[in-house]
C-alpha cells in the first residue's frame, strides 16, 4: 500500500439498496402498457361523443399490436410471466386455425392447476378466468395432417368451458370456407359463457340457424350488442322464437328486411332497452321499426340509395335524433331529415376526386334538415384528403358551407368553419 492510498480502499463497497416494487404497482404498469381503448367496451357507444369512437377495424389492429407487447412482457422473467399472463389472455385473437389446438391445451392445463391449488387451500386463478374478449379471426384453415376445419371448431367446446367471464365474442370472416359451428360448440358457449356475454358480433358465413340462435340467445340475458352477418339476416333474426326477453340489449347491427315478425311466447316486447339499429335503408327491417321505433334514438344507415326508404325509417322513429350514414356513393346525401339533430357521415371509397368532393359539399348545402345542429365527418377519408391534396376545393367548401346554419365538424369535433371558433366544443 502506498502513502497515497487511504486505509481500507480495497474493501468492497456496500451494494446499493434498490426498493422492490410491490406486485400491485407492476400490475398497474402492465395494465397501462397493454390496455386498448374500446377493446373491452360492452355498451353501445354514442358516435358523437368525444373523443370519437374508433372503428371496429381500428380497434382490432390495436388489439393485435397490444398482443405483441404482451408477449414480450411475459418473456422477460419468471416474475413478469406470473404477473403479465393475465393481460396476455385478457384479449384472445385466433389468427390461425391450428392455434385453437395449443390454446385448448394451455387453458385446460391452467385450469387443472388452479383446481389443484384450490383443493390445497390456495386461491389461484386460471388463465381463462381473465379472458374477456375472444376473437375468431382465422385467415386460413389448418395445415395439420390430422386436423380438419370441423375438428378445429370442435376445440372450442373445451375452450369455452375455460372462459367463465367471457364478455365479448367476435367471429370474423375467413379467407377459406369454414363449416357451420356444430351444435355442441354453441351449447358449450351458452352453458359456460352465456351469463357473462355482453357482446356478440357474428360477421362470418355460415352462421347459426334461427333455431340455433334462439337456443343461444336464451342463455345470454345480459347481452347488450348483437350483430348478424350482412346477408340473409331475415332468415335468422326473423325466425327467432325467444321465450324470454333480452332486457339489456341496446343495439342490433346489420339487421335487414324480413316479412316475419319476431316470434315470442310473451306479449311484451323482448327488447325493452333497444335504442340503436344498424340497417340498410334499401331494406329497412320494419319488423323491428314498427314495435321499437318509438324508443330508437340513433340509427346507422349502411346503404343509402334514395330518400323513400329513409322516410319510412324516420316516420317510424319519432324520437330519432341521431343518424350515421355510410356512403358508398359520396354525393348521395339525404334530401330531407325532419327530426335529426346530429348527422354523422362515413365514406367507403379509396380515392376522392375533385368532382366527388364538390358533389358532397354542394349536397350539404341543399339538404333539408330544419333541426340539424351538428354534422360530423366521422372518418378522415374525405375531409382530410381534400384539405391536404385539394386546398383550393377545401377553401371553396369552407366558404360555401358558411351559409349552413348547423355546425360542421371533422372527426375530432373541431369546426371547419372559423365562425364557430377553433376549439372542439365550438366556444369562441
In tens, the pLDDT along 261-284 reads: 444 444 457 899 999 999 887 778
Question: 205 lies in a domain?
Answer: no
**Global confidence as pTM:** 0.86
Task: Count how many residues are written for the chain.
Answer: 428
Is a pLDDT exceeding 90 seen at residue 161?
yes
To the nearest whole percent, how much of the chain has pLDDT over 70?
82
- The parent domain of residue 136 ranges over 38-197
Task: Pick 176 or 49 by higher pLDDT.
Answer: 49
Question: 240 lies in a domain?
Answer: no
Task: At 230, give phi and psi (nearest 5°).
Answer: -65, -40
CA torsion sign, 152 to 156 to 162 to 167?
A: positive
Measure the CA–CA gap between 17 and 20, rounded to whole angstroms: 9
Question: 66 lies in a domain?
Answer: yes
Question: 219 lies in a domain?
Answer: no
Edge-first strand order for the sheet with 225-227 is: 91-94, 133-136, 168-171, 199-202, 225-227, 251-255, 276-279, 298-301, 322-327, 342-347, 374-377, 407-409
Please report, for residues 40, 255, 280, 341, 344, the alpha-carbon distance to residue 308 in angstroms, rounded to integers and kept in the order given.
38, 19, 12, 20, 20
Q: How many domains does the chain have?
A: 1
Q: What is the pLDDT of residues 86-127, one digit of tens each?
A: 999 999 999 877 789 999 999 999 999 999 988 888 888 999
Region 285-295: what's the mean pLDDT?
A: 88
Q: 154-185 burial, b if ≥16 CB within 10 A, otherwise e?
A: bbbbbbbbbbeebbbbbbbebeeebebbeeeb
Question: What does the block give as the cell for 402?
Answer: 358558411
Question: 392 lies in a domain?
Answer: no
Q: What is the pLDDT of residues 59-82, one digit of tens each?
A: 989 999 999 999 888 888 888 888
Average pLDDT of every residue of the chain: 83
Question: 55 lies in a domain?
Answer: yes
In the numeric block, the cell 340509395 is attached to: 305
Question: 417 lies in a domain?
Answer: no
131 — pLDDT class (breaks 50, 70, 90): very high
Question: 216 lies in a domain?
Answer: no
Q: Tell me whether residue 68 is exposed, middle or buried, using C-beta atoms within 10 angstroms of its C-beta: 0 to 12, 13 to 18, 19 or more.
A: exposed
Question: What does the block give as the cell for 17?
Answer: 439498496
The helix or strand, by DSSP H or E, that contains position 114, with its residue range, turns out to be helix 99-119
Is a pLDDT exceeding 60 seen at residue 236?
no
Q: What is the pLDDT of residues 331-379, one digit of tens each?
A: 678 888 888 999 999 887 777 788 888 888 998 888 888 999 999 999 8
382 — pLDDT class (breaks 50, 70, 90): confident
424 — pLDDT class (breaks 50, 70, 90): very low
Q: Which of 140-154, 158-172, 266-280, 391-405 has the lowest mean pLDDT?
A: 140-154
The helix or strand, by DSSP H or E, that contains position 127, with its residue range, turns out to be none
Please report, for residues 278, 281, 317, 376, the alpha-carbon distance to residue 348 in angstroms, rounded to integers and kept in the order given.
16, 16, 26, 15
User: Going by C-beta distance under 8 Å and a sequence separation of 6 or more, which residues neighbour residue 315?
Assistant: none
Q: Tell me whether residue 386 is exposed, middle or buried, using C-beta atoms within 10 angstroms of its C-beta: 0 to 12, 13 to 18, 19 or more.
A: buried
Amino acid at each position: 500500500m502506498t502513502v497515497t492510498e487511504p486505509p481500507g480502499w480495497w474493501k468492497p463497497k456496500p451494494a446499493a439498496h434498490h426498493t422492490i416494487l410491490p406486485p400491485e404497482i407492476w400490475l398497474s404498469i402492465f395494465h397501462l402498457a397493454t390496455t386498448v381503448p374500446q377493446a373491452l367496451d360492452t355498451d353501445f357507444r354514442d358516435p358523437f361523443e368525444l373523443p370519437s369512437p374508433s372503428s371496429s377495424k381500428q380497434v382490432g389492429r390495436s388489439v393485435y399490436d397490444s398482443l405483441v407487447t404482451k408477449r414480450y412482457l411475459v418473456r422477460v422473467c419468471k416474475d413478469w410471466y406470473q404477473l403479465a399472463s393475465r393481460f396476455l389472455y385478457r384479449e384472445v385473437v385466433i389468427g390461425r386455425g391450428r392455434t385453437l389446438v395449443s390454446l385448448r391445451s394451455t387453458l385446460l392445463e391452467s385450469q387443472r392447476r388452479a383446481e389443484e391449488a384450490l383443493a390445497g387451500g390456495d386461491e389461484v386463478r386460471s388463465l381463462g378466468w381473465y379472458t374477456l374478449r375472444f376473437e375468431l379471426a382465422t385467415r386460413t384453415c389448418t395445415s395439420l395432417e390430422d386436423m380438419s376445419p370441423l375438428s378445429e371448431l370442435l376445440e372450442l367446446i373445451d375452450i369455452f368451458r375455460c372462459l367463465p367471464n367471457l364478455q365479448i365474442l367476435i367471429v370474423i370472416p375467413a379467407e377459406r370456407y369454414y363449416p357451420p359451428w356444430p351444435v355442441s360448440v354453441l351449447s358449450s358457449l351458452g352453458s359456460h359463457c352465456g351469463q357473462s356475454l355482453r357482446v356478440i358480433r357474428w360477421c362470418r358465413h355460415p352462421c347459426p340457424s334461427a333455431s340455433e340462435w334462439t337456443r343461444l340467445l336464451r342463455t345470454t340475458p345480459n347481452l347488450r350488442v348483437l350483430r348478424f352477418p350482412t346477408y340473409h339476416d331475415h332468415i335468422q333474426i326473423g325466425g327467432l322464437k325467444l321465450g324470454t326477453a333480452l332486457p339489456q340489449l341496446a343495439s342490433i347491427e346489420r339487421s335487414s328486411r324480413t316479412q316475419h315478425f319476431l316470434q315470442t311466447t310473451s306479449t311484451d316486447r323482448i327488447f325493452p332497452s333497444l335504442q340503436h339499429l344498424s340497417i340498410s335503408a334499401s331494406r329497412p327491417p320494419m319488423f323491428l321499426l314498427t314495435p321499437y321505433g318509438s324508443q330508437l334514438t340513433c340509427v346507422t344507415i349502411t346503404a343509402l340509395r334514395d330518400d323513400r326508404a329513409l322516410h319510412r325509417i324516420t316516420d317510424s322513429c319519432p324520437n330519432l335524433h341521431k343518424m350515421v350514414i355510410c356512403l358508398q356513393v359520396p354525393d348521395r346525401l339525404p334530401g330531407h331529415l325532419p327530426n335529426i339533430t346530429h348527422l354523422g357521415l362515413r365514406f367507403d371509397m379509396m380515392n376522392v376526386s375533385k368532382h366527388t368532393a364538390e358533389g358532397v359539399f354542394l349536397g350539404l348545402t341543399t339538404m333539408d334538415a330544419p333541426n340539424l345542429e351538428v354534422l360530423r365527418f366521422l372518418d378522415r377519408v374525405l375531409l382530410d384528403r381534400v384539405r391536404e391534396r385539394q386546398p383550393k376545393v377545401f377553401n371553396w367548401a369552407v366558404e360555401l358551407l358558411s351559409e349552413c346554419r348547423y355546425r360542421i365538424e371533422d372527426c375530432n369535433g373541431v369546426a371547419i368553419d372559423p365562425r364557430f371558433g377553433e376549439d372542439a366544443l365550438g366556444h369562441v
